[in-house]
Structure 1
Amino acid sequence: MSNDSAEVLSSDELLSIFKTVIMNSPDGIITVNEEGIIIFSNPSADRMFGYETLRGKKIDVIVPEGLRDDLHQKMRDYRARGEHELAGKVFETVSLRADGTEFPVEMSLNPSRSQGRLFLTSIIRDISERKKMELEVLEREEQFRDLFENANDMIQAVTPDGKFLYVNRAWKKTLGYTEGELENLTIFDVIHPDKVDECRELFRRVMSGENIPIIETAFITADGEKVFVEGNVNVKMSNGTVEYSRAIFRDVTERMKFQRELERMASIVESAGDAIVSYDLDGRIMDWNRGAEEIYGYGADEIKGKNVSILMDDEEFERLRGLIEEVKSGGVVSNFEAKRIRSDGETIWVSISMSPLRDFEGNIIGVSTIARDITEMKRTEEALRASEEKYRKIVEKFIQNALALISEINR
């Protein structure tokens, strides 16, 4: 016999091998006759169902009561036709332990015939742990699904060709597209036209595996509105191939509008002819616009951080401290006139309005002031008063002389 010839085993040797395999199998193995009596069970089956031995017992003892009628009907059909409808199939069902507890099993049925009698051999696997793990996975998936669906941020998954695999509720609510509409759209159909070219390049980079931590772009809603977003995008890889990209975006449209409004207001403040100055409650200067530079003569860099008292004498500063206390209580001071000292030492007159400066929580943290240079107006007023006084004295003198003359005439 050649070395590569298969060794022929005797029937006794084969029987010994099969017996060893069956008796040491981790799966339960039982055989029932056509009357439903268990005529064989291996140790794993006995342990699985909690019996010292299952041999001699009716198959009903391992079948929950609710499934027994179906079992009996199938056994009757098997006896009548010699065939079993579940033969050769692997299926899941529920079995019953000796202590009355039910547990899930995976089972296969193998019918056989010997000396005119019918038998059914079942291979049974306890899948309790597997079912428990599957349930945990399902619960975890449900938790994540609930988290994604109820997240305030927009979450999306997109295939390499731009098709949508998933979008969450916030995504649909923000952009207004329906599930039916999304089936016929790609990611580039919902990118605002201003951003399409930029996003195509970003998409190419992401799909090549590049990690881009922060992306700022804009979507277009179903109604044609522009929505600014920021977020991050990465990809799911499998065997070196990109399956899909996943992204989380936050709607920052209101923030962008607020920033633009701030920029607009800052531009107005910076270009205003009036001096717009803010300082904390101790008088340290925080903000100083170009108008303040023109009126007071100090550059913003040289005066920020210094005390506002640099602009006035002691008497004016004491007066200001009293007004600051009024503002600290939430009051507004409008158009009071005060003297201030420029960087070159010149004294000027200003008309000032003061209002509270608040933080995001509404706490008063300082004072915001708007001042207008009224020096020329004050000079004009002073000149007018001097002129009025001069003419008043001339008129009074004229009247006095006229009265004296009339008095002389009447003598």
Structure 2
Amino acid sequence: MEQRALPSSISGARSFGDNSEVEGDRAVLPPGSELEDFFENAAVGLHIVSNDGTILRANRAELDLLGYAPDEYIGRNIREVHADPATIDDILDRLSRREHLQHYRARLRARDGSIRWVEISSNARSAGGRMINTRCVTIDVTEKVKADELLREQEQRLALTYDSAGVGIVEADAEGRLLRVNGHLCHLLGYTQEELIGRPVFDWTYPADVEVDRAKYRQQVAGKIKSYAIEKRFVRKNGSMFWAVVTSSSVLDASGQFRYAVRVQHDVSERKEIEAILARRAEEQAALHQLTEMLQHALTPEGVYEAALDAIQRGLRCQRASILLLDGGSMKFVAWRGLSDAYRAAVEGHSPWSAADRDPQPISMRDVEHAELPDSLKQAIRTEGISAVCFIPITEGGRLLGKFMAYFDEPHDCTAEQLDVAQTIARQLRFGLERVRTQKAAQRLAAIVESSHDAIVSKDLNGIVSTWNGSAERLFGYTAAEMVGKPIATIIPEDRLGEEPLILGRIRNGELVDHFETVRRRKDGTLVDISLTISPVRDASGRIIGASKIARDISDKKIAEARIQDSERQLRD
């Protein structure tokens, strides 16, 4: 067969007919053959290197990969192209020992200085036991390497995020057994990873919350739901408890079947604690509001006591309560709930304060068993089943009036907030009792005023009538509806209008106007002789806010006086 050399710009080699022969250490291919066409137009890089590393031939894909022209690449030493000398030395050494290389990863330096990652598959062509040249396939894997590196970075970042996340993260199989846990969950539960892996995720769930979570998880494994979220309690290794929001999401296989679940546990104990505090504050405020409302309608001390006991039990969340007031220097029960007669008889009269104490403060006994109390008192409390007690003084101006007691069936610390609520209840209780007493006194006074034979009138410092009793109606002829809100000058004759400013002036100065005899005009226009006694009216702070006037009809007295004067005149005459 006729042989001819290939153009050097393409092949850089001379042809020869038999692959077993070598001419000048140059590899040849039959010109125009299918093998020549395959080599030159292969989709992957192909090159042939001599035993000293000289590039004998390279196809278009190889040249395009690195950006070289044929005369820039062919004839160079392959070591100049490799970015890592140790790599090419290892490749040539292994090929010289007749090893076959498969997908050997290396870095090649392109003409523009950039680096291309390649995988080289190669073997050696030998004669007489000596390597003549190599035959190499070069596959560009730069993008794959970049993708692998990016994936590796992402996996590292994900692993770092997984382990460093501020939430507990686990992976669980269809049975709920833990496949993987992160460090934060170990911290939350107090277990090591070795102690957790392989155990069911429900093992650390608070018993009352297990079934709800398990039922949801079964639905998730069955494919009925892809994810769910639940709030539940966990039990730590040391026995303490915390709340967490658990979000469980399914990871499916290519066929859409459940593989495992990723469960994220976010500790919400602080939020739950805040919610509980807010709920307690709301309940306390509701108790105080209800107490205020009930006291407004309480007409008797018993009504006040019932309202206060409701507020004590609701606001302090105690199981029993009582109210005691000082009576003859000793504390006496006036109202109670849940206390036996024997207990009340045993403890009545006992008090942590004396009647002479000023500004007594609340006292809280967390555990009565460890309190310093007389043995007889402690035995009575123990028999009653009381574990903790809170003493709240009822005072007025620093003076002890009584106390109320809150009883707890279990040891209990009364917080500062609870003590604030308790003291507010004590103040409201005192106000309520004062109000009832004041109402009774006002009712007695009103009865006295209404039954009085004298006209009793009150007015402000501007002379405007505030009250007008029945005797005033009878004396002056005006009804209360006609006079209340009207000037007192309505009943003063014109020639005596100057008296009113003088009277109000004396009242403003705190003076008493006693038995002032004057004349007033009735509704029918007739005049009536009266005697006035006028006293200042003061508010709680002692400020004068008006006047109380008692008017007595002295017409008969005046007639009698006139008769006496007439008789005396007649005797003189």
What is the TM-score normalised by the length of structure 2?
A: 0.44
Q: Secondary structure at the match of 2:69?
A: coil
By how many angstroms is 1:73 displaced?
6.3
By how many angstroms is 1:216 displaced?
1.6
- Select 2:186's aligned residue among 172, 197, 205: 172
By how many angstroms is 1:218 displaced?
1.9
By how many angstroms is 1:263 displaced?
3.6
The answer to whether residue 221 in structure 2 is matched with residue 207 in structure 1 is: yes
5+ residue gaps, structure 1: 1-11, 277-288, 299-334, 338-367, 386-411
The 8 Å contact of residues 49 and 62 in structure 1, kept in 2 or not, is answered as no
The 8 Å contact of residues 125 and 132 in structure 2, kept in 1 or not, is answered as yes
- Select 1:248's aligned residue among 249, 264, 271: 264
- Select 1:35's aligned residue among 21, 43, 52: 52
| Change beyond 3 A, Cα 1:117–1:294 | closer
The AA in structure 2 aligned to 1:375 is: R
By how many angstroms is 1:96 displaced?
2.2
Aligned length: 286
The answer to whether residue 438 in structure 2 is matched with residue 378 in structure 1 is: yes
The AA in structure 2 aligned to 1:93 is: A
Residue pairs, 1:12-411, within 5 angstroms: 16-53=33-70, 54-64=73-83, 66-68=84-86, 71-72=88-89, 75=92, 78-79=95-96, 81=97, 83-84=98-99, 87-113=100-126, 118-209=132-223, 210-238=225-253, 239-270=255-286, 272=287, 275-276=288-289, 289=290, 291-296=291-296, 371=428, 372-373=431-432, 374-379=434-439
5+ residue gaps, structure 2: 1-28, 299-394, 398-423, 446-573
The 8 Å contact of residues 33 and 118 in structure 1, kept in 2 or not, is answered as yes
| Change beyond 3 A, Cα 1:43–1:243 | same
Q: Whose Rg is larger? A: 2
1: distance between equivalents of 2:137 and 2:441?
Answer: 112
2: distance between equivalents of 1:161 and 1:17?
Answer: 62
2: distance between equivalents of 1:74 and 1:213?
Answer: 56
By how many angstroms is 1:41 displaced?
0.4
2: distance between equivalents of 1:73 and 1:255?
Answer: 63
By how many angstroms is 1:42 displaced?
0.6
| Change beyond 3 A, Cα 1:381–1:141 | farther
Q: Secondary structure at the match of 2:39?
A: helix
Map of 1:6 onto structure 2: none
Q: Secondary structure at the match of 1:160?
A: coil
The percentage of counterpart residues that share the same residue type is 20
| Change beyond 3 A, Cα 1:56–1:241 | same
2: distance between equivalents of 1:78 and 1:57?
Answer: 19
1: distance between equivalents of 2:94 and 2:146?
Answer: 34
Q: Secondary structure at the match of 1:122?
A: strand
By how many angstroms is 1:24 displaced?
2.8
2: distance between equivalents of 1:31 and 1:382?
Answer: 122
Map of 1:364 onto structure 2: none
The AA in structure 2 aligned to 1:220 is: V
Q: Secondary structure at the match of 1:110?
A: strand
The 8 Å contact of residues 61 and 98 in structure 1, kept in 2 or not, is answered as no
By how many angstroms is 1:17 displaced?
4.3
What is the TM-score normalised by the length of structure 1?
A: 0.59
| Change beyond 3 A, Cα 1:188–1:206 | same
| Change beyond 3 A, Cα 1:111–1:221 | same
The 8 Å contact of residues 120 and 139 in structure 2, kept in 1 or not, is answered as yes
The 8 Å contact of residues 204 and 235 in structure 2, kept in 1 or not, is answered as yes
| Change beyond 3 A, Cα 1:100–1:259 | closer
Per-residue CA deviation, residues 281-329 of structure 1 (Å, 9 max, x unaligned), is xxxxxxxx3x23323359xxxxxxxxxxxxxxxxxxxxxxxxxxxxxxx
What is the RMSD of the two structures over their aligned residues, measured on CA atoms?
A: 3.7
For CA contacts below 8 A with separation 6 or more, give which structure has more relative contact order. Answer: 1
